[in-house]
Homo-oligomer: A and B are copies of this chain.
Amino acid sequence: MAMTNMDDGRVFQIGELAEEFGLTLRTMRFYEDYGLLKPERDGFARRYKHRDRAKLSLICRAKRLGFTLEEIKQFLELYAIGDHQVGQMQYLLDRARARAVTIEQQIEDGKQTLNELREIEAQIERHLTKQSGPHDTDAADGKAKGRELP
C-alpha cells in the first residue's frame, strides 16, 4: 500500500540527484536559494520529486547551452505559468534566437582567432628552425631585445 516503487511517486534525496547530474550538494542548495528549485521538506531534509528532477534536468541543459542562471530562472517562470501565454513563449523564442546569434558570433571570432594563432605558430616555427641551424652559443646579450611581436 505504501507504493514506494511507483516511478511517479519516487522521491530523491539531494545526494542522489547531485550525483546523477554531476552537481555538488552546494550547487543544488544554491539553485534553491536562487529560486530555481523548491523541493518539499520532510522535516529538515529536502525531498525532490519527479517534477523537481525534470526541472533540474532542464537547468543543466540550459547551462550547457550557455544561459545564465538568471535567464534559466525566467525560463522556468515562463513554463510555470502555462503555455497559453503566447507572448511569453514568443519572448522565450527570442532569447533562444539571441543566444544562437551570440554563439554564431563566437564561432566566427574563434575562427578568426585560430587563423591568427596559426600565423603565430608558423612564425615561431620559422624562428626555431632558423636558430636550430647556426646556433650562436651565447651572443647578443642585450641587443636582441626589442623585436616586434608577430
In the bound complex, do residue B54 and residue A148 qualify as a contact, i.e. CB atoms below 8 Å apart?
yes
Known interface pairs A96-B121, A114-B100. Does A51 touch B138 (Cβ–Cβ under 8 Å)?
no
Known interface pairs A86-B128, A90-B128, A96-B121. Does A145 touch B80 (Cβ–Cβ under 8 Å)?
yes
Bin the interface of chain A by size: 35 or more
Q: Nearest B residue to A59 by beta-carbon distance?
A: B149
Q: Taking the complex as formed, is A107 at the interface, i.e. its CB lies under 8 A from any CB of chain B? A: yes
Q: Taking the complex as formed, is A35 at the interface, i.e. its CB lies under 8 A from any CB of chain B? A: no
Q: Taking the complex as formed, is A132 at the interface, i.e. its CB lies under 8 A from any CB of chain B? A: yes
| A interface residue numbers (CB < 8 A to B) | 51, 54, 57-58, 61, 64-66, 79-80, 82-84, 86, 89-90, 92-93, 96-97, 99-100, 103-104, 106-107, 110-111, 113-114, 116-118, 120-121, 124-125, 127-128, 131-132, 135-136, 138-141, 144-149
In the bound complex, do residue A127 and residue B96 qualify as a contact, i.e. CB atoms below 8 Å apart?
no
Q: How far is the CB of A31 from chain B (nearest CB, A)?
A: 15
